[in-house]
Amino acid sequence: MNEHDQEKARAIEESRRLRQEKKAAAIERSHQFRAIKGLRDILPPESAQWSRVEQTAREVFGTFGFAEIRLPVLEATNLFARSVGQETDIVSKEMYTFIDRTTELRPEPPIGEMPSYVEEIGRLMESGSIPGTEPNRATFKYLIALGKEIFPIEEKLSELGKLTEYLFQLHGFQLGDSVSLRPEATASVVRAYIQHGMQTLPGNVKLYYMGPMFRRERPQKGRYRQFYQIGAEVLGTSDAPGIDAEVIEMLMRLFERLKLKGAVLNINSIGDKNCRPAYVETLRAELQKVREQLGADSQRRIETNPLRVLDSKLEHEQAIIEKLPRIADHLCDACRAHYAEVKRQLDLRGIAYQENWRLVRGLDYYMRTTFEITATGLGSQNAVCGGGRYDGLVELLGGPATTKGIGFAIGTDRLVLSLQEMGEGATPGGLDIYLAWFGPAAQSAAIGLARRLRDAGFVVELPAVEMKFGKSLGLADRLKARNAVIVGDEELAAGTFTVKRLSDGTQKKLNESELFEYLRGERA
Ligand code: ATP
Ligand code: MG
């Protein structure tokens, strides 16, 4: 190889190395995991705010006689389809749904092995690992029969059309139950109420829950794909308006306790199965007349759900909506009386409200009383809580027809956001004591002291390894500890501890009982 060739070889080698490095860097980048779009982490110190909100809810709801129910996050897809409603945005396009497929079934094999694969499906259907539904059984029989005609395929190339049919049927096979991440929890509460026969319990069943919900919406401020709700439900044979008012009272007590300012309660009655259908038809007829002036969404809703048109936020639709017939003028006597009494019961409790005839809820199960609470600092996602009555839901899901229900769900993300916006920020966690120790004997003394301090309720940071004095106290500063307690040979010999207030450097030598007293004073 002459010099020129060597040069060339080196250049090629160099460029190959650069390419490889670039590729490695790209792989590295693609391996950096990030949370999935619309899902987020809630970190300290914000998480302390969340705990405070949830703890306060537990306390307030507890005083109203509510107990916690913990629910699964996955439910049968049909539960939501039936209760929330097939035509709603939530069920028609926002749910995270998948087939909960058995791991006992191997992945789909090459065509030659299809017959044994289908037999395997049959066995798993018998054992219950694959749903033995009517359609599945029929498909199975059909596949067996068709398989006899077309396999082994090498000998029957004329049967290719039937093979396409075979694969089509096979892919229509439901290999597991359809399950969904819950988009809301009322359906689950009602499912649990029925499943556990809670109608036999005395009085009203009063339950609250808190936890994540999932909807595949467009993420934006106050709107996430995993969001959190704190909700409560009252289930029982009575639909007394006093129950509606007390549920709302409980909610307002919580917001007061949390010092949420600017919360506005909107209420409405959307009638029941006696009067709403006629109103919906009246509304639909009126909407048909102005159809051309409406946006695409509202036009579609004239057919699917005219009530939802009232919910529209589109600027140019507002004047049109204002002139539409109002449900208040179309309520039957029973609904009108119920609504009037809800308002009187709210007055009795000194709860201010705004009547909002356009307040309809996006879930099918609501009837009569509906309400929503808006808060400040949230932009267009300003509803922190939605709720209402759902008297027919228990029956719809197969429970006793006599059970009525009412409840609400608070959007915890939005509630926390609103509290932050108004400066009701997270309470600083705060480190009371940084326990600096120097030397092996001091470490053992420090471990014992840390335990006694923590037992007394102090927040203590105990370094896991020995550090130089300056470095250790520097860390105490950066962790914003209120006091440093120093344990070294000198202190051990004297049976005392040195305590240093980090804000002004005040230093004292104290024995253990004096130390505890001093630190209690520092905390107050
Ligand atoms: P919106 O009109 O804001 O979409 P919604 O009518 O869909 O609300 P509900 O199903 O009644 O809301 O849920 C009750 C509360 O849950 C809402 O008032 C809101 O605070 C909260 N919430 C609903 N969807 C989300 C979401 N994607 N992200 C954060 N919070 C949400
Ligand atoms: Mg929504």
pLDDT (tens digit per residue) in 504-522: 999 999 999 999 999 999 9
- Which ligand has an atom closest to residue 381 CA? 1
Which whole number is the average pLDDT over 71-80?
Answer: 97
Q: Is the CB of 385 under 6 A from ligand 1?
A: yes
Which of 184, 213, 365 is the pocket-test mutation for ligand 1 (most atoms within 8 Å of CB)?
A: 213
Closest Cα partner for 49 from 182, 223, 226, 228?
Answer: 228
Helix/strand/coil for 521: helix
Q: How far is the CA of 184 from the centre of ligand 1 (A)?
A: 9
Q: Is the pLDDT of residue 425 over 70?
A: no
Mean pLDDT of the chain: 93
Check residue 48 and give its pLDDT: 92
Per-residue pLDDT tens over the stretch 103-158: 999 999 999 899 999 999 999 999 999 999 999 999 999 999 999 999 988 888 78
Which whole number is the average pLDDT over 43-56?
Answer: 94
- For residue 462, CA distances in Å to 22, 451, 486, 518 come to 43, 10, 11, 19
Check residue 154 and give its pLDDT: 82
Check residue 411 and give its pLDDT: 98
Check residue 5 and give its pLDDT: 79
Q: How far is the CA of 296 from the centre of ligand 2 (A)?
A: 18
Interior/surface letters 295-331, b for 16+ CB within 10 angstroms, e for the rest: eeebeebbeebbbbbbbbeeeebeebbeebeebeebb
Q: How far is the CA of 113 from the centre of ligand 1 (A)?
A: 49
Question: For 399, phi and psi rounded to 5 degrees?
Answer: -100, -175
Q: Is the CB of 184 under 6 A from ligand 1?
A: yes
Q: Is the CB of 182 under 6 A from ligand 1?
A: no
Q: How far is the CA of 449 from the centre of ligand 2 (A)?
A: 53
Residue position matching structure tokens 């004329």: 158
Check residue 378 and give its pLDDT: 87
Per-residue pLDDT tens over the stretch 437-458: 999 999 999 999 999 999 999 9
Q: How far is the CA of 386 from the centre of ligand 1 (A)?
A: 7
Within 8 A by CB and 6+ apart from 276, the residues are 270, 327, 367
Which of 50-59, 359-368, 387-396 is predicted with the least confidence, judged by mean pLDDT? 359-368
Q: How confident is the model at residue 465 (pLDDT cuts 50, 70, 90)?
A: very high
Helix/strand/coil for 48: helix
Per-residue pLDDT tens over the stretch 17-31: 888 888 877 766 666
Q: How confident is the model at residue 380 (pLDDT cuts 50, 70, 90)?
A: confident
